Amino acid sequence: MTIEYATRYRRTSRIPAEPGKPYFIEKGEGDRAHLFGDLITIYAGGEQTENTFNFFTVEGPKADLIPAHLHTDTYEVFYVTQGAVRLFVEGTDGEQQEKLLTPGDFGFVPKNCTHAYRMERHHSQIVGVAAGPGATFERFFENLGVPAEQLGLPHQPVVPEPAKFETVPQQYDVRFLPDHQWRTR
């Protein structure tokens, strides 16, 4: 059984808000959000780690490319545990790379590197870790998308209104690059 807490972000959270407190979370029982066709589950965030890192999973169906974006202050890890995920990365030197990641494969995206990904198979899952000297961005998912209480993928894709794309990302070190072109594919 996972204990529930009330936090400033959620009426019911499975993650204690105070840093330095040990806790356990059963599979799938973190703070969940739906964004696009994906289920994002947060297991640890800035509140628990004194803004040093966050730990989350992203599960999704085969889908379109997640929009190109970058983080000016955050390093991000992509570790695939199920399915296949194509990761696109552009270094600060403009060199573009892409790689199909399958279970056990790892991708690292330094700060200021444009990146995007696409779930290439249904039931794909990424374990993500993000860290940087500033705040962490785990609350981005539920603020751009919607908090989710139920397990599983959204029944309909959660596509944010355009106004949210203008305000929410800036709060969480996410800068979308809608005109970015990938030359790798």
Cα 74-78-81 angle, rounded to 5 deg: 150
pLDDT of residue 4: 61
Is the pTM for the entire model greater than 0.85? Answer: yes
Q: Is 70 exceeded by the pLDDT of residue 129?
A: yes
What is the Cα–Cα distance from 31 to 42, expressed in whole angstroms? 5
Closest CA to 178 of 168, 165, 167: 165
pLDDT of residue 2: 57
pLDDT of residue 3: 63
Given a contact cutoff of 8 angstroms between Cβ atoms, the answer to whether 58 and 30 are in contact is no
Residue 38: Cβ within 10 Å count: 24
Per-domain residue ranges of the chain: 31-176
pLDDT band (50, 70, 90) for residue 28: confident
Q: Which two tokens stand for residue 4?
A: 């529930």
Q: Is 90 exceeded by the pLDDT of residue 124?
A: yes
Selected residue with higher pLDDT from 146 and 137: 146
* CATH homologous superfamily, domain 31-176: Jelly Rolls (2.60.120.10)
pLDDT band (50, 70, 90) for residue 160: very high
